[in-house]
Amino acid sequence: MKIGILTGGGDCPGLNAVVRGVTKSALRRGWDVIGFRDGYRGLVEKDFVRLGDRDVSGIIIRGGTILGTSNTANPFAYTLAPLGSADKPKDLSKLAFRNFKDLGLDALVAIGGDGTLTMAQQLYKKGMPVIGVPKTIDNDLSATDVTFGFDSALNVATEAVDRVHTTAESHNRVMIVETMGRYAGWIALRAGIAGGGDVILLPEIPYRAEDIVKAVLDRKRAGKKFSIIVAAEGARPEKGEMTVTKVVKGSPDPLRLGGVSYKIAEILDGKTGLESRVVVLGHVQRGGEPTPFDRWLATGFGVKAAELLAKKQFGRMVSFRNFGFTGVSIAAAVGKLRRVSPGAQEVRAALAVGTSFGNSRIAK
């Protein structure tokens, strides 16, 4: 066989480990492997590199992706110059198919999140043999218990929450740490629990301003003159909208969220007698070396992807379920986002130790 690999969407720790896992498994089967540069751009523009054993040696510990990535290179609505533009997206999927055939490829491995895998599913429905590998720090893909990249991002976020504790306590402040996650609150939830956050704000549990103020004042009356708030970037008030910083035309998800932590600071200003400070983690959560768990998980994903290729089980995505690797349909993974349930056991556990979710109604 001859296979192609691409990494699409936002970068995250563990991408290189998957590329390594797929490539080494494929080479040991006697296959040829090429890697497309910058996600689907490489497939559309026929920009690729041949991958040998030396090319992937030692990359398991590296963050980012040696292939490059793009979160705007959609073959079905291409906006990148010189072939397309943001004002006039073009459907270049036929060109992608032509390049696939011209290169003599038997299958494509698409490593990415919801947007990347949705495009992979579209290509598969049109006849391209595709295998998907779930990647996102947001942990919001259905049909898998966890995605690689999430654990690394969670470690960064938890360390940040740990570090602001000393500043908050020393200065009697409210420290607000804003995490990524888009429409799912997994990073904020678990970093908030692991870091001992006093208030956790999630997209799945719209907050009430008065309940956030009450949580901080209750701590103050109890002699705790500081508070830690962990806010997901997608957190929103009841009967309100998420905070959008900008709109990116041509992106599968054009809304760029962020800045809700400053709104929370405004809510608290003058109502608690405590100074509020904001820490927006942003893309620092995507960077750096993958954690041991993500290296292990990504390697397992890569090896399983090669197994699915060998069995010609196309249209499938590698999934991690019940602490084992399996394959599920890509359609099942991208059909619905995996989000935090307000009634989940870990939410109830946080409530049991006194954590507020900015909405007193969920505690009843």
Which residues are known to be catalytic? 138
Would you list the DSSP string of 7-63? Answer: E-SS--TTHHHHHHHHHHHHHTTT-EEEEETTTHHHHHHT-EEE--HHHHTTGGG--
Contacts of 123 (CB under 8 A, 6+ apart): 75, 93, 96, 97, 108, 130
Distance between start and end Cα atoms, the chain: 58
- Residue showing tokens 């990494």: 7
CB 181 within 8 A of CB 188: yes
Q: In degrees, to the nearest 5, what angle opens at C-alpha 187 toward C-alphas 183 and 188? A: 85
Q: Which of left, alpha, beta for 358 (phi over 0: left; psi -120 to 50: alpha)?
A: left
Q: Are strands 107-112 and 275-280 parallel, antiparallel or unpaired?
A: unpaired
- Rg of the chain over CA atoms, in angstroms? 22
